[in-house]
Amino acid sequence: MAEKTIGILTGGGDCPGLNAVIRAVVRKGITAYRYRFRGILKGWKGMMECDWEPLGPEEISGILPKGGTILGTSRTNPFKEEDGGEIVVDNMRRMKLDALVAIGGEDTLGVANKLASMGVPVIGVPKTIDNDLNGTDYTFGFDTAVNIVTEAIDRIHTTAESHNRVMVIEVMGRHSGWIALYAGLAGGADMILIPEQKYTIQEIVSTIRKRHERGKDFSIVVVAEGAQVSAEGKENEYVVSEGGLDEFGHVKLGGIGQLVANAVEEATSYETRVTVLGHLQRGGTPTAFDRVLGTRFGIAAIDLVHAGDFGKMVSLQGNEIVAIPLADAVNQLKIVDQELYDLATVFFG
């Protein structure tokens, strides 16, 4: 039987654990199935431009603890172009690919899903530090981000206490507050603001005041970048740092932390500072949990390729890795459980 050639790509924002997935896919693909691999460079951009590099034992050696992605990434959306889908289908043939493994979040896997419905043999692997992909209990990268943010909160705690300040920490989370909620809970935040809830400035101020009135002279507020806060009687709006949309139509968020800090300081006269953790949350080595999850996802993905079970995404359900239709993963986002948020509110104020 002719040797099969498999393409792998990583799309969207980078994420700790991507290299663990690549390593697992290639390692098992070569040793168990005798596949040949092509690393598609910079996500869907590489598929549009036939830009690839061979991927073999040498390329995957030593990459397990490395952050980022050895394949590079982009937010290119082939379907922004007329005939973009057909170009990808055509380029699959030109690059002699028998199947494709796409590692990404809602946008990358949304493209994979559309391609699958056009008959492209593709398998998806769920990636995002935001943990907001549907159909999987966790995405890899989330645990690393939560640990980074928790450590930051611990550090900010001691300086908050020394200076008797309100410290506002802005974290990633465009549509969902998983990072804010988990790290806020782990770090003992006095208030956590997430995109799934609506807040008024007055509510935030009164929570901080309540805490200070019961004798505390510092506070920690964790806010997800996509949280919406309004003045009473006004509409809630996202805080956008700069104009422009990416190819998937997302605005660039940022600035909610400063807005909250200004409002708290103005209303209470408590000295307030802001820390925006930004891309620190996405960089660097993955935690052991993310390395193991990425490895399990990678093995399951190449097994699906071998079984010819395409149009699927590997997912974690309980402690099992299962395959679900790509369509189920991208039809809606996984938002924060209300029950878990309610639990966190016990510690507010």
Whole-angstrom Cα distance, residue 174 to residue 189? 20
Cα separation, 349 vs 346, in Å, equals: 9
Q: CB within 8 A of 268, min separation 6: which ones?
A: 166, 205, 208, 209, 212
Q: Confirm or reject binding of residue 105 to ligand F6P (CB under 6 A).
A: yes
How far apart are CB 128 and ligand F6P at their closest, in Å? Answer: 5
Catalytic choice (107, 130, 290, 303): 130
Task: Tell me the three state secondary structure of residue 191.
Answer: strand
Residue placing its CB nearer to ligand F6P in the complex, 175 or 211 = 175
Strands 52-55 and 36-40: antiparallel
Q: Does 253 bind ligand F6P (CB under 6 A)?
A: yes
Stretch that binds ligand F6P, among 80-88, 95-103, 125-133, 328-336 (CB under 6 A): 125-133
Q: In the annotation, is 130 catalytic?
A: yes
CA distance readout (Å), 317 to 64, 138, 153: 24, 8, 29
* Residues 253 and 190 sit within 8 Å (Cβ to Cβ): no
Q: With respect to ligand F6P, which residue has the nearer C-beta, 281 or 315? A: 281
Q: Nearest distance from residue 155's CB to ligand F6P, in Å?
A: 21
d(CA 141, CA 128): 6
First to last CA, the chain: 66
Q: Using CB under 6 A, pick the residue from 48, 103, 120, 129 that binds ligand F6P.
A: 129
Residue 174: CB minimum distance to ligand F6P, A: 4
**Residue 143 binds ligand F6P, judged by CB under 6 A:** no
Contact between 13 and ligand F6P by CB under 6 A: the answer reads yes
Three-state DSSP state, 85: helix
Site for ligand F6P in 162-201 (CB under 6 A): 172-174
Nearer to ligand F6P, 106 or 303 (CB): 106
Angle CA 237–267–348, to nearest 5: 75
Residues contacting ligand F6P: total by CB under 6 A: 11
Q: How far is the CB of 254 from ligand F6P (least distance, A)?
A: 8
Q: Pick from 10, 128, 150, 275 the residue near ligand F6P by CB under 6 A.
A: 128
Give the closest residue to 224 by CA, choosing from 146, 160, 163, 166: 146
- Least distance in Å: CB of 279 to ligand F6P? 7
Active site residues: 130
Q: Which spans of this chain sit near ligand F6P (rule: CB under 6 A)? A: 13, 105, 128-130, 172-174, 225, 253, 282
